[in-house]
Amino acid sequence: MIPEIGHLALIIALVASLIQCVLPMWGAHTNQIQLMQVARPTAYTQLFFVIIAFVALMTSFINKDFSVINVVQNSNADLPTIYRICATWGSHEGSILLWGLMLALWSSAVARFSKHLTLPILARTLGVLGFISFGTILFTLITSNPFLRMIPAASNGTDLNPLLQDPGMIIHPPMLYMGYVGTSVVFSLAIAALLSGKLDTAWARWSRPWITVAWCFLTIGIALGSGWAYYELGWGGWWFWDPVENASFMPWLLGTALIHSLAVTEKRGGFKMWTALLAILTFSMSLLGTFLVRSGVITSVHAFATDPERGIFILIFLAILIGGSLTLFSIRAPKAVAGEEFDLVSKDSMLLTNNILLLVAAAAVLLGTLYPLILEALGLGKLSVGKPYFDAVFVPLMTPALFLMGVGPITRWRSAKPIDLVTQLRWALGATVVSAVFTPFVLRSWTPGIGFGLFLAIWITTASLVNLFNRIKSHPANAISALRAQSASYYGMLIAHIGVAVFIFGVTMVNGFEEEKDLRMSAGTSNSLAGYDFVLNNIQQVQGENYVAAQATITVTKDNQFVTVMKPEKRKYFSSQMLMTEAAIHTSFTGDLYISMAEAISNTEWGVKIQFKPFINWIWGGAFLIALGGFFAVMDKKYRFKKNKSL
């Protein structure tokens, strides 16, 4: 009964989303107030029914209803309750439903927090969101219905992929989707503004908090995914330039560009067309990412099934949305008035440079991700584009952007004197060069890569501090009131930029100083790495709730002082008979020890991989600071809109 309720609720939500799209759009076009006013209630209605559908699916999983095909394929009677809940979005069907749920949440948030929008703009924004919802729910119902039954019911399910049986599964997908799908709001706002011919500073001011929040969730989602891959896949890598990672990284890059260009549009009225284009491209990349991940064109842990029907549906939807919005853009954009003039050296020009670099970087990632797929689809051969390409492209492209992160924030809008910038930043630059050159000597190793990475990290930090110091100095009263006088969005920017510095520091240290050894160990064997001594005490069988594992006990000491006992496991899950490496990780502020078991070489010997990852947590720490900065920026008073203040 419950699955049928869910199915019915989803059909009602489909109808609601269609009404949410058609009536308000028509109302805005013909200027009929009653029709435009339909937008808000239908958005709430749609959310209500999508929630019912989602809860119905979750209930089927919790109740172990093995008459539902999706439950049979992604769950098992032995599966712990929390993972049965997560299994709701563990399958293709469930994850698309989660996509729809997030979209409905964002739409209702727009309906709720939009008192300041004029009715036509609101109606068009919700109308576009309604259209996207309609496509998503239709896709779910036609190609990926999670509520289908099987008769007779199965006695047990095949199980959730053991890789997904992890706390990361609880939080990574919802966070990532929240960010992914959230880019639809700025997209819809841009389309609404283009349709209304009101591409102005007010539009930029409404758009900014929405993209910033979505971007924060996306940042957290990507960082969580990276952290999860690090500890769960058992090889200690944190980023693989895997197509699925790229799919989430491209909208992130464009979203970052968008946030910065919105700053120009909001403050100076410039870059309007560019900003609108970025808003369209950011969401397009989110959709393209969904296509790549969900259509089965790439095979990875995230691709559940290869089904051409799904791929074609998403491709058509993608073509309509991207093609339609770009056409609208090309018709309407020339009418937008050009912004104010600016000089070659100015905050405007630096933000433009940052935008171009981020856009080129996103395009480079897109090239590396799509090229092998296109070539293969055309039957022109098989090849892969791996880490070396992305590293070779990404570092040089990001370097000038990262350097400008130090200069840009203290540069004046419109026109700045280079000599002023040099005067203000000479101490920061001096301190940076000195510490970047000497720190590696303290660490007893130096490569150009290490010096370079440290240079950028320290540069961003010191230049940000100079910026803060200048603001205090130029304030008439004392330092405390000067600090109080700064806006939340200013602090947000500082925190996010320092987050980038922390991230770069982490990456530099891991790449420069990581150590690893592949060993053959048996009880009593000892070995050392990075100053730590490891003794394998024993290997024993242990039993988990739904698996059996070989577990090694390894005592770690440093200079004869006890550090920790680590217990890596090699698990075998009962239902799927799948082997899983469960690494043991000893985390500290300055780095991780990472031990994973490979395989039994003989009765007594095991292959064991021991790694030392200095400062690796700074990578994710930096990412969380970046997101925190974004949340700070949204708290700014200027985004607490009064009703209908503008337009």
Partner 1 sequence: MKPRNKRILLILTGLVALGVATFFVLRAFNENLVFFYTPSQIANHEAPTNKSFRIGGMVVENSLQREPGGLEVKFIVTDTAQSVPVQYAGILPDLFKEGKGVVAEGRLNSQGVFVASQVLAKHDENYMPPEAKDAVKAAQENQNKNNLAKTSQNTDPKK
Sites of contact with partner 1 (CB under 8 A): 161, 163, 233-235, 299-301, 341, 343-344, 349, 352-353, 356-357, 360, 363-364, 367-368, 371, 381-386, 388-389, 392-393, 396-397, 518-520, 576-581, 596, 598-599, 601, 607, 609
Residue 461, class by beta-carbon neighbours within 10 Å (0-12 exposed, 13-18 middle, 19+ buried)? buried
CB of 77 to partner 1, least distance (A): 20
CB 571 within 8 A of CB 162: yes
CB of 350 to partner 1, least distance (A): 12
CB 529 within 8 A of CB 610: yes
CB 570 within 8 A of CB 576: no
Cβ proximity to partner 1: between 414 and 558 the closer is: 414
Residue 517, class by beta-carbon neighbours within 10 Å (0-12 exposed, 13-18 middle, 19+ buried)? middle
CB of 105 to partner 1, least distance (A): 30
3-class DSSP state of 135: helix
Residue type, 32: Q
CB of 623 to partner 1, least distance (A): 24
3-class DSSP state of 548: strand
Cβ proximity to partner 1: between 309 and 343 the closer is: 343
CB of 542 to partner 1, least distance (A): 18
Reply yes or no: is the peptide bond before residue 152 cis, omega within 30 of 0. Answer: yes
Cβ proximity to partner 1: between 65 and 93 the closer is: 93
Residue 187, class by beta-carbon neighbours within 10 Å (0-12 exposed, 13-18 middle, 19+ buried)? buried
Cβ proximity to partner 1: between 340 and 420 the closer is: 340
The per-residue DSSP string of 215-229 comes to HHHHHHHHHHHHHHH
To which residue do tokens 């095979």 refer?
Answer: 299
Cβ proximity to partner 1: between 121 and 519 the closer is: 519
To which residue do tokens 């947590």 refer?
Answer: 617
Torsion angles phi and psi, residue 146, rounded to 5: -80, -5
CB of 35 to partner 1, least distance (A): 44
Contacts of 202 (CB under 8 A, 6+ apart): 646, 647
CB of 392 to partner 1, least distance (A): 4
Cβ proximity to partner 1: between 44 and 389 the closer is: 389
CB 78 within 8 A of CB 574: yes
Contacts of 614 (CB under 8 A, 6+ apart): 509, 510, 513, 514, 590, 591
CB of 383 to partner 1, least distance (A): 5
Residue 484, class by beta-carbon neighbours within 10 Å (0-12 exposed, 13-18 middle, 19+ buried)? exposed
3-class DSSP state of 584: strand
| Cα diameter, the chain | 82
Cβ proximity to partner 1: between 392 and 542 the closer is: 392
Nearest one of 612, 611, 605, 582 to 536, comparing CA atoms = 605
Residue type, 398: M
Cβ proximity to partner 1: between 336 and 488 the closer is: 336
Nearest one of 503, 502, 501, 459 to 222, comparing CA atoms = 503
CA distance 116 to 107: 16
Cβ proximity to partner 1: between 382 and 444 the closer is: 382
Contacts of 8 (CB under 8 A, 6+ apart): none
Cβ proximity to partner 1: between 67 and 415 the closer is: 415
Cβ proximity to partner 1: between 364 and 496 the closer is: 364
CB of 301 to partner 1, least distance (A): 4
CB of 110 to partner 1, least distance (A): 34
Cβ proximity to partner 1: between 158 and 588 the closer is: 158
Cβ proximity to partner 1: between 226 and 349 the closer is: 349
For residue 75, CA distances in Å to 68, 71, 82 come to 11, 6, 11
Strand partners, 518: 609
Contacts of 148 (CB under 8 A, 6+ apart): 68, 69, 70
Cβ proximity to partner 1: between 40 and 347 the closer is: 347
CB atoms within 10 A of CB 445: 10
For residue 128, CA distances in Å to 7, 24, 124, 174 come to 24, 10, 6, 23
CB of 340 to partner 1, least distance (A): 11
